[in-house]
Chain A
């Protein structure tokens, strides 16, 4: 099939960007979306043009590096799928596809479709961990953990930190990302010990980075490649309220 691409090109963070049109010819349905872009880039390089810059690494939906807004939807709109796992069989011959970077104040554009997501790292640095140093850990079976708690914790821990939740949100809120980490750790006995401190610090870091507020529209959940549930935001709000009242 043949497609028309409208791709956001922007030389650097400080320059003006614009959409540029490209033709993607002889696209095979079994190709992934990024492989389709690879082929377009090969053509651009052969013609002496600068290839379209986009982030990707593992290409199996787990590293969280890929980050494209496709036809207005972060990761392209297939449930539970990151851009790298989106395949061209979902498109039709003759389609026009718009490709943009994540857009959020806290994720400044570096070049073309690549953005700076280090704000997420700084939120984790503020408290997204269990404060244990290497060595001296008790036996792994010393504290039994109910299977249900472990499963729920794992649902939250599955977050790949891609930032689609922020890109999809009209307020560019990072609540789903932060709630996933707060819940992952807070649901386990090992993480409960410092849960108040954690949630207060992480929320403060989130606000400091310039992410917007949450109005619970659920667009984050809809685009999340790991289908992290909106319920975790409720859980975090509860923890945050409790911690604030305790004043810790």
Chain B
């Protein structure tokens, strides 16, 4: 396998412009001859499907939810970054680019990140034109807030529901194309495999979740915008059905999987309340604008928060990182929370929690202002915990939130399989080892609105429409494999539920491949995962049958893939003998306990190639060449 990132030559700030000029175009009359499959209808998928439809391509879009409007992008709360510099506070495209590269701990691709920063300004314009009701000032202009890892205010927001509003914008654009017949939508349909014809991605095999019917769809190109794999940990802030299946199946068909161990643990989530817990709920990072994070100075201090006087409190983020304070990046904040809890200073009944206190902000700004800024988040907190955060501090704890790793793509967002494009969280390219807040929405929309519509044309240009018929033997073969696998899951009829396996796998991953990792732990995980996987295929109990709406079966297929994928994640974490961003190896830290990178040996994207069942994957390295930025140790002090 050769990995050619296809980064255009020339100065950083000219690369994308130049590439756009050099890319071949498809004549408008010819676009309608090309069929494109888009899997996923979140920000990346919906924006891509809509934009491709507008250009004239024939699009088929698939999602497993009952409507494209429900994709998990909808749950993003805080905002979307853009280098508009509306606040006159010194922001620029270069600064957004630099903050993102630095936030990613110098493990992202320079050219991709610069392009992302450039496109960020177009995204805001596009969304405003669609009718996204971004927050405004009294003068009628757009409002901004600041976010972790930045010292400027560049985050655009729509209350605490920015993801929802951006997704509805993309969904409405998608609906417009569905209405005029340029996009055909397949809701409640799950992609179970990708089909290659002559080494190129030419279709997918899907299961209709209502009827159980397994069928093939052929196209000239396949776009995966299927999100991240945080649910490998069982508990995460991801929606219940988010899964790795689409990209993992593509990996098994030959697509390289890059940096799978780069996962983001978000510092501000509501702590776990018990074993029944089905998912974790994020409290937007924007809360850290006005909330102060603290724990008692004394170990095992079980007094209520209001009984602990100022001098007895440790505002540890402000103490350790005075210049960024409570707005330190996510990985650093999460680890700091873990440290104080490990020291026995955690709060709440489980001891796994820290306070996020708004008392000072309420004194300074008044409760009404805080209510206006964060009202829905405070309500959500009260709904879940039964506590009033206006009167007492919130309790928060880190939780798995986002996965920076994903399928390897080149500058054109095409994987190493020709014709297979990967967008949004499903790819690996822009966030390095840690994603900054309000950047996921930016990336999803940049990929879908402004990058893929250009680069897919380059792939099609010159080529004749190649769409093979879905009756070709390649499709039949994958269909048969998929049916056999489904049947196998249904025929085990063992004693344990899918959920119990998933929970056990998640515990292994959280303990050994979570916020802190080390060699011994990762080796232990790599011993236990295959054991658990063997038990899974002999002892899982999937009730019902295939020819019906069968949620247990859907879940069983996803967990089966997690069982294999978890091993890839741990192998990647074990290989990367350094700490960077969200990947913290306890063996590699500075004296102050910060992540210690090893640029001499690990300045590369780790792209793994599948070799077959029970064979170790092969590692390919894409060196990260920094032309513009000088790598440095991140400092937020």
Contact = CB atoms under 8 A, between A and B. Distances in A.
Contacts of B450: 134-135
A191 to B, nearest CB: 5
Interface in A80-136: 80-81, 85, 87, 89, 110-111, 114, 116-118, 120-121, 124-135
B463 interface: no
B499 interface: yes
Contact of B50 (A117, A134, A184, A185): A134
Contacts of A60: 75, 279, 281-282, 380
Contacts of A21: none
Nearest to B179: A125
Interface residues of B, number: 81
Given A65-B65, A85-B383, A110-B210, A48 B161 contact: no
Contacts of A114: 549
B140 A147 contact: yes
Given A124-B175, A129-B176, A87 B136 contact: no
Most buried by A among B67, B129, B277, B497: B129
Interface stretch (A51-59, A167-175, A209-217, A231-239): A51-59
A16 to B, nearest CB: 16
A80 B375 CA distance: 13
A55 B543 contact: no
Given A80-B379, A141-B142, A154-B158, A134 B173 contact: yes
The DSSP consensus for interface residues of chain A is: loop
Contacts of A111: 548-549
Interface string B150-180: 0000001011010011001001110110110
Interface string A12-37: 10000000000000001011101110
B131 interface: yes
B129 A130 contact: yes
Interface of B: 47, 50-51, 54, 65-70, 72, 74-75, 84, 86, 122, 124-131, 133-142, 156, 158-159, 161, 164-165, 168, 171-173, 175-176, 178-179, 185, 187, 210, 239-241, 273-274, 276-279, 281-282, 379-380, 383-384, 386, 449-450, 453, 495, 497, 499-500, 541, 543-544, 548-549, 551-552
A35 B551 contact: no
Contact of A87 (B125, B278, B282, B386): B386
A62 interface: yes
The 10 closest A-B pairs by CB, nearest first: A144-B140, A129-B172, A137-B129, A125-B179, A137-B125, A140-B128, A133-B54, A154-B133, A30-B273, A57-B239
Given A34-B278, A140-B128, A184-B131, A85 B75 contact: no
B173 A129 contact: yes
B69 A64 contact: yes
Interface of A: 11-12, 28, 30-32, 34-36, 38-39, 42, 44-46, 48-51, 53, 55-65, 80-81, 85, 87, 89, 110-111, 114, 116-118, 120-121, 124-135, 137-141, 143-147, 150, 153-154, 157-158, 160-161, 184-185, 188, 190-191
B482 to A, nearest CB: 22
Contact of B131 (A30, A118, A133, A185): A185
A83 to B, nearest CB: 12
A125 B131 contact: no
A140 B130 contact: no
Contact of A62 (B74, B156, B386, B551): B74
A150 B126 CA distance: 17
Contacts of A130: 129-131, 172
